[in-house]
Chain A
Amino acid sequence: MDYVLLTEQVLNGFQLGIILFLMAAGLTLVFGIMDLVNLAHGSMFMIGAFVGGTFALLTGSFVLGVILMVPAMLVIGVVVEMTTLRTLYPRDHLDQVLATFGLILFFNEAVRLIWGPEGLVVPLPDYLDGIVSLGFGITYPVYRIVIIVIGLLVAFGLYLLVGKTRIGMLIRAGASNRTMAGALGVNIPKLFSIVFGIGAVLAGLAGLIITPITQAAIGMGEDVLILAFVVIVIGGIGSIRGAFIASIVTGLIDTLGRSFLDVLLLLFLPANAAESAGPAVSSMLIYILMAAILFFRPQGLFPPKGAQ
């Protein structure tokens, strides 16, 4: 293990954490404020990838694809909220799980009908496709650095939106105590539509910016969704700050586990056992962390102030 590899793996972990954060930010708001278990959040990830990817291919510019994706996802998110989810708020969580699972099936089939089963490949412009030297013999793909930068900018933007604006104040009020916020005259249905729209845009952005790396495929959001749920449980449901820190921690643990655990296991296990136990144990690490946090601090690391 040398410092070049270690630095690269830390950057890889950061990049994974950023994607998780974009997913978890929307999920934690929807769950925390609207008290809605939204399994279809993964579908927003997928739709963002396909819709944005199509814009990018049509305009011939990836950046333009990202810009056009934002209003498109906002519209899709608000329409989904107004047509389907609105009826689910008074129902219990099991009904919400069933209904949003139905949405997953619906969106997967819709994507298959529109784009076909083979998915979508979105190319990067040349200036994003290369590798860059960071000094000390470390080279790293330019695009992954771009992802990290975009994620940090979005995190900062969300911090300003939630912390410094009126709408952010309403969101915080909703996350702390929904009933009280409603009683004080906050237009809850409108707030919910906006929150869900923002969540859809963030998930769509995550799906779109990871597409040049993983490609767009039907059902691509479901695996990320599971990790995002882990993140919001660790970070505290309803807390953007918690989601950010938990995302980075989860990304780092997952990546560093995958890269160094087998080496570590070699110290006290025979080669064969270490080889097969390495991937198995490293994929368990984040769930072990989640279990530990649920045990010692069930409300998560950074629950919103005053949350019940």
Chain B
Amino acid sequence: MLKKIVGSAALLTLLASPAAADKVKIGFVTTLTTPVAVIGKDMRDAVDLAVEHIGGKMANLDVEIIYADDEFNSQKGKQATERLVLSDNVDIVAGYIWSNVLLASAPVVLNEGKILISANAGPSPLAGAQCNQNFFNIAWQNDQTPMALGELLNQEGVESLYLVAPNYAAGQNMVAGVERTFKGKIVGKDMTVWPSQRDWSAELSKVKAAKPEGVFTFYPGPAGPAFIKQYQQAGLAGTVPLYSVYTLDSISLPLFQKANMETVLGTKMTQFWAPDLDNPANKKFVADFRAKYGRYPSFYAAQSYDSIMYIKSAIEAVNGDVLNTAGMRAALKKADFPSVRGKFTMGNNHFPIQNFYERTVVKDADGNWTTAGGRVVLKDHQDPYASQCKMP
């Protein structure tokens, strides 16, 4: 008898807890272990800073962030998402570095009718045919940045290009993106084994023999610095300009600076954001991030910081009523918040329509290596999959 009473009491408290909306619970999925955990650490630091900036409150409710580790693995990422949605009972799920992890995890969140915000991954299915009214991307669609790079190459007058990229989904997307906009001749293309191949001697010898006017590459995480180093050791750095996307960032540049690899300076890339973009939100973010952590934020950090501000705008639009999904959705569609990239609009597929800038690796006033934004390469650019999205 006593057991029954205790049991039902426990059950009642269980039932009661979700209704007590005295705080906002946000689940944030990223990679906190494995060698790519450096990215996850940067994202977590940015989220912590964002929570600090808003005083830990959204619409006067306390904010609780629950971090979950995807272990750089789509199945583990899916399990982590299931725990957040079904057991921790979070109100909103955000994060996700890797496209394959996001694709595996998205149905878990969306089937529960909850809102999902990607802070990095932008795979084409979720932008096109599989777009969803509760899914929003606060970063970019995978194809956009390399498309901007192809355009940059046209503007720079590069007529022949050699492509070296890893042979997996994102690597193929990046190469396809460049090929979509680049008007010159592609003189060679090597897709290398991912993630195991770390020595590109054979590919670099082929580049040398092909004598292109430019080389395009994409190696995210720790592989990027290794590739660029070998590019220099092969004697290509002075002779053939290297263009990249998502390869040189504030995570890898301090490593180059420590190793004093001056040839990296002047390398060009494209990006939707730069640490020196001139707007009040970005100035505050970059200055406070540097003050708190002693390094420049990466683009991963910028997107993560934005995602918290973005969620705040939605929670405040519904006055803290986290169960009002339709109201939050309407607010998210407006994207009315101070983004570190400046003003942008949300497309019909809930991916940003935004500018892409040229970025160059430079030394800042204190001698730290960072990237500086340049001219706009693509203005108010929307991804090529938006037209395939039929949103109810």
Q: Which stretch from B33-41, B83-91, B330-338 is at the chain A interface?
A: B33-41
Q: Chain A residues near B193 (CB, 8 Å)?
A: 279, 283
Q: Chain A residues near B229 (CB, 8 Å)?
A: 121, 212-213, 215
Q: Is A294 an interface residue (CB 8 A)?
A: no
Q: Which stretch from B131-139, B197-205, B277-285 is at the chain A interface?
A: B197-205
Q: Is B230 an interface residue (CB 8 A)?
A: yes
Q: Are B235 and A119 in contact (CB under 8 A)?
A: no
B377 to chain A, nearest CB (A): 28
Task: Select which of B35, B199, B206 is within 8 A of A117 by beta carbon.
Answer: B35
Q: Are A141 and B206 in contact (CB under 8 A)?
A: no
Q: Which stretch from A9-17, A80-88, A192-200 is at the chain B interface?
A: A9-17
B197 to chain A, nearest CB (A): 8
Give chain A interface residues in 81-135, CB to chain B under 8 Å: 112, 116-119, 121-123, 129-131
How many residues from B make CB contacts under 8 Å with A?
Answer: 38
Q: Are B35 and A259 in contact (CB under 8 A)?
A: no
Binding site for A on B (CB under 8 A): 33-38, 41, 167, 189-193, 196, 198-199, 201-203, 205-206, 208-209, 222, 225-226, 229-230, 233-235, 251, 255-256, 258-261
A83 to chain B, nearest CB (A): 26
| Closest 4 pairs (CB-CB, A-B) | A12-B201, A214-B198, A131-B235, A123-B259
Binary contact readout A36-69 vs B (1 if CB under 8 angstroms, 0 otherwise): 0000000000000000000000000000000000
Q: Chain B residues near A130 (CB, 8 Å)?
A: 235
B164 to chain A, nearest CB (A): 11
Q: Are A118 and B199 in contact (CB under 8 A)?
A: no
Q: Are B230 and A8 in contact (CB under 8 A)?
A: no
Q: Are B205 and A118 in contact (CB under 8 A)?
A: no
Q: Are B205 and A8 in contact (CB under 8 A)?
A: yes
Name 6 A/B residue pairs within 8 A (Cβ), A-sorted.
A12-B201, A12-B205, A16-B201, A122-B259, A131-B235, A279-B193
A130 to chain B, nearest CB (A): 8
B256 to chain A, nearest CB (A): 8
A145 to chain B, nearest CB (A): 12
Q: In the bound complex, how far is the Cα of B210 from the Cα of A2, in angstroms? A: 11
Task: Select which of B38, B190, B226 is within 8 A of A215 by beta carbon.
Answer: B226
Q: Are A144 and B201 in contact (CB under 8 A)?
A: yes
B159 to chain A, nearest CB (A): 20
Q: Are A15 and B201 in contact (CB under 8 A)?
A: yes
Task: Select which of B34, B199, B256 is within 8 A of A16 by beta carbon.
Answer: B199
B233 to chain A, nearest CB (A): 5
Q: Is A230 an interface residue (CB 8 A)?
A: no
A117-B35, A275-B189 as given contacts; A131 in contact with B234, CB under 8 Å: yes
A275 to chain B, nearest CB (A): 7
Interface of chain A, main secondary structure:
helix
- Which residue of A122, A123, A258 has the most chain B CB atoms within 10 A of its CB atom? A258
Q: Are A255 and B191 in contact (CB under 8 A)?
A: no
Task: Select which of A15, A123, A141 is within 8 A of B234 by beta carbon.
Answer: A141
A10 to chain B, nearest CB (A): 10
Q: Are B260 and A12 in contact (CB under 8 A)?
A: no
Q: In the bound complex, how far is the Cα of B35 from the Cα of A283, in angstroms? A: 24
Q: Is A143 an interface residue (CB 8 A)?
A: yes
Q: Which stretch from A27-35, A216-224, A240-248 is at the chain B interface?
A: A216-224
A119-B35, A259-B206 as given contacts; A213 in contact with B235, CB under 8 Å: no
Q: In the bound complex, how far is the Cα of B229 from the Cα of A217, in angstroms? A: 15
Task: Select which of A2, A9, A117, A139 is within 8 A of B202 by beta carbon.
Answer: A9
Binary contact readout A247-289 vs B (1 if CB under 8 angstroms, 0 otherwise): 0000000010011000000000000000110010001000000
Q: Is A5 an interface residue (CB 8 A)?
A: yes
Q: Chain A residues near B209 (CB, 8 Å)?
A: 2, 4-5, 8
A5 to chain B, nearest CB (A): 4
Q: Are B190 and A220 in contact (CB under 8 A)?
A: no
Q: Is A210 an interface residue (CB 8 A)?
A: yes
Q: Chain A residues near B222 (CB, 8 Å)?
A: 118-119, 215, 217
Q: In the bound complex, how far is the Cα of B82 from the Cα of A185, in angstroms? A: 61
Q: Chain A residues near B198 (CB, 8 Å)?
A: 214-215, 217, 220, 223
A302 to chain B, nearest CB (A): 26
Q: Chain A residues near B190 (CB, 8 Å)?
A: 258, 279
Q: Chain A residues near B251 (CB, 8 Å)?
A: 118
B294 to chain A, nearest CB (A): 14
A160 to chain B, nearest CB (A): 29
